Amino acid sequence: MKIIKMQAYGNDFCLTSFENNVDYKELAKKVLDRRLGVGGLGLIVVKIEPNLEMFIYDSLGNKAMMDSNALLCFSKYIYENNLIRKKAFNVIMANTKYSVEIEDDSYILNMGEANYNNSMLHISDPINSFGRVLRLNSNDSITTYSLYLGDVHTIVLVDDFNSKIIDNVDLIINNSIFKNKTNVHFVKIIDKGNIEIKSFDKFSNYLLSSASGAGASALALNKLKLTFKNINVKFELGSVSVEIKKDKALVKGNSVKVFECEYKEEI
């Protein structure tokens, strides 16, 4: 079985073509093991027919939600391997259709519109509120901005990344108001055209980057009128640009092929 290792801004994935009768749950556990396998954050299964579709499995073998970094890798893989020659196409991921356009050597992901309703956010609060105050403990509370963009994202504004709020990220992710937890993005506004983010997934893992978080942050800040509609989003490793167009987040970025190999399971 051929495995392609790719990374988008430090988030690494293993890609393989769809085959019938393969237990991808078990395969992901083995392939993604960083000591005994290839290693990676997720296994992307590439399906071409009848529609372009990608499935993502995490290292525990669970099917993952949408992941924009993974979509960047998938898009580059299918185009550079001549699996599709059009420069505009749709990809189904987590039962949702996403449009992708290729511009120069970059890939523009249309992440769609944000949903701010509590029902989509799985928030146990009868009042819809964009700018919700969360109490972390008896002494500390913060203002958060939550939205749904393929998954639940919560934005927290900080003046710098030495803020003690970041040390309390678990108290945000696991706050009882979020029934299904939340991804958290700490956002530092540099100016109206540039921001920097540090992201944590809903399992409290720090991410070197999050293209989904970039889109969610841009939508939130645009709604708050704190930034322009076109901004640059800096990660620990690299940056993407985000354009807000007709209330949709268009994330422009790229990915890199690391290597490919033939994977054989030990008997």
**Per-residue pLDDT reduced to its tens digit, 144-156:** 999 999 999 999 9
pLDDT of residue 111: 96
Q: Render 14-60 in DSSP notation, one character per residue.
A: EEEE--TT--HHHHHHHHT-TTTS---SEEEEEE-SSS-EEEEE-TT
d(CA 153, CA 220) in angstroms, rounded, equals 10
pLDDT of residue 267: 43
**Sign of the Cα pseudo-torsion (116, 184, 124, 139, in order):** negative
Tell me if 25 sits within 8 A of 58, measured CB to CB.
no
Helix (H) or strand (E) holding 2: strand 2-8
3-state secondary structure of 156: strand
Residue pLDDT, tens place only, 201-250 = 999 899 999 999 999 999 999 999 999 999 999 999 999 999 999 999 99
pLDDT of residue 139: 84
pLDDT of residue 246: 94
Please, which residues have CB within 8 angstroms of residue 49's CB and are 6 or more apart in sequence? none
Cα distances (angstroms) measured from residue 77 to each of 59, 138, 163, 242, 254: 21, 49, 38, 22, 11
Helix (H) or strand (E) holding 60: none
- Which domains does the chain show, CATH number per domain? 2-112+254-262 (3.10.310.10), 115-246 (3.10.310.10)
pLDDT of residue 170: 95
What's the residue count for the chain? 267
pTM of the model: 0.94
Low pLDDT (below 70) residues in the chain: 266-267
As given in the structure block, the two tokens for residue 226 are 């704190």
> Which residues are registered as beta bridge partners of 189?
195
d(CA 212, CA 207) in angstroms, rounded, equals 11
Tell me if 244 sits within 8 A of 112, measured CB to CB.
no
d(CA 25, CA 141) in angstroms, rounded, equals 40
pLDDT of residue 110: 98
Which amino acid would we find at residue 16? T
pLDDT of residue 266: 62
